Amino acid sequence: MWGEMMLLGLNSGATVYNFEPMEDALFNRNFEYSLPARSVIFPLLRAIIKERLIPTRQQVMENIKVAYVADFENGEESEMSDVDYYRGMAADNVLFGRHHERRRGTGTIYRATYGMDSENDIVPNSGRYYWIPVLPKYTRSDFMSKFERVLCPNQFVGENEAKMFFDGFYPPIQEGSGYITIVGDEAFAMNSYENMNVSQSYAFKLKGFEFSGSLPPHSYFIAKLEGENNLYVHANGWFSKRTEISLRGLPKGASFEFEPHGSGEVVLNGDAYRMTLTHETGAAVARITWPLA
């Protein structure tokens, strides 16, 4: 989960990353760099810096259409928030159902957009709606004017009404069940089932290039267009699994380089390049270039 958590921060423009507990994330019992650090955390941190993967503030703001202001009169009313679950209650808990009927801490908006089914979910099931900022009650009006719409608490009767509202601001960006979000010239894809070992399908477009394939359990990848004729892909997942990416829209004569050497292969199938990346040593990188017209 280290990589997935980093990706959620990365696509929101995060510039600072904290890893806890340190003895699990970064070091083992012998105070040597841990396997997650060597195979996931460090490779992704290096890529973030070297490839300039952090979206700009402008790109992040352009992706956000709707914000939410936590305008509550008192602490008791704040527990009725539609962007949070009643603390300590799982979705199938009897007490949760009772509070859900009372619209008390029901997470109506999060259920309608992120698709999160319980408080145990960490990765949103959908990246269509990007991130919904929850702003303090006294946020300045000139800042709130940057958003197309600002919501106050409990404006929707239920999830269906909330989803219809957000669908009007955020058009579909993908097919399939994987988590996909696009920021500027970058696409972020990951398997959203952090608690289940289930593969997910995906299909999306990035500036005219079509990506499709299957996301194995606990896998993710970043795709970034660099200039007019370069595409960078950073992928990772279980050692025993492979990341498969079918690419359409690449000009003829496209060339592929893989890092580490031998970590990837590509086959041209009709108009699609089918790329397979292995993770025996952790992260795999593909650099794709093509001649300028």
Q: Which amino acid is at 98?
A: R
- Tokens representing 44 are 């992704």
What's the pLDDT score for residue 29?
Answer: 79
Q: What number is the average pLDDT over the span 256-275?
A: 90
For 147, residues 6+ apart whose C-beta sits below 8 A from its C-beta are 64, 65, 66, 67
Name the 3-class secondary structure at 23. helix
pLDDT above 70: residue 76? no
Distance in angstroms (rounded) separating the CA atoms of residues 155 and 18: 35
Q: Is the domain defined by 2-59+172-289 classed in CATH 3.40.718.10?
A: no
Measured between alpha carbons, how far is 266 from 245 in angstroms, rounded to an integer?
9
- Which amino acid does the sequence have at 43? P
CB 277 within 8 A of CB 286: yes
pLDDT at position 136? 86
- Give the Cβ contact number of residue 115 at 10 Å: 18
Model confidence at 10: pLDDT above 80: yes
pLDDT at 234: 95
Domain chopping of the chain, boundaries = 2-59+172-289, 66-167
Residue 127, pLDDT above cutoff 60: yes
What is the per-residue pLDDT for 86? 44
Structure tokens at 133: 């900022």
The pLDDT of 18-37, averaged and rounded, is 78
Residues with Cβ within 8 Å of 99's Cβ and at least 6 positions away in sequence, in order, are 86, 89, 105, 106
The larger pLDDT score, comparing residue 86 to residue 231, is at 231
- Model confidence over 163-175: pLDDT tens digits? 999 999 999 999 9
Q: Return the percentage of the chain with pLDDT > 70, whole number.
A: 86
Phi and psi at residue 205, in whole multiples of 5°? -115, 140
Q: Report yes or no: 268 and 275 within 8 Å, Cβ to Cβ.
A: no
Task: Supply the pLDDT for residue 147.
Answer: 94
Decide: 69 and 151 in contact? Cβ < 8 Å: yes
Q: Tell me the pLDDT band of 99, cut-offs 50, 70 and 90.
A: low
Confidence of residue 231 (pLDDT cuts 50, 70, 90): very high
Please tell me the distance from the alpha carbon of residue 18 to that of residue 24, in angstroms, as a whole number.
Answer: 13
Work out the mean pLDDT of the chain and round it to a whole number.
84
Helix (H) or strand (E) segment spanning residue 215: strand 209-215
With residue 7 as reference, give the H or E element that holds it.
helix 2-11
Question: Is 60 exceeded by the pLDDT of residue 80?
Answer: no
C-alpha to C-alpha distance for 248 and 212, rounded to whole angstroms: 9
According to DSSP, residue 106 is labeled B
Query: pLDDT at position 92, please?
Result: 53
pLDDT of res. 97: 56
In angstroms, rounded to a whole number, what is the distance separating the alpha carbons of residues 22 and 83?
Answer: 31
First and final CA of the chain: distance in angstroms?
A: 41
Kindly tell me if the per-residue pLDDT of 75 is higher than 60.
no
For residue 89, the model assigns a pLDDT of 46
pLDDT score of 38: 81
Q: pLDDT band at 52, cuts 50/70/90? A: very high
Q: Mean pLDDT lowest for which of 68-77, 172-181, 187-196, 278-287?
A: 68-77
Tokens standing for 183? 């920021």
Phi and psi at residue 288, to the nearest 5°: -115, 130
Q: Is the pLDDT of residue 31 over 80?
A: no
Confidence (pTM):
0.86
- Counting other chains too, the contacts that 48-51 makes at CB distance below 8 Å and 24 or more residues apart are 48/10, 51/224, 51/226, 51/232, 51/234
Q: Given this model, what pLDDT does residue 3 score?
A: 78
Half-sphere exposure of 188 (CA within 13 A, CB side): 27
Whether 257 has a pLDDT exceeding 80, the answer reads yes
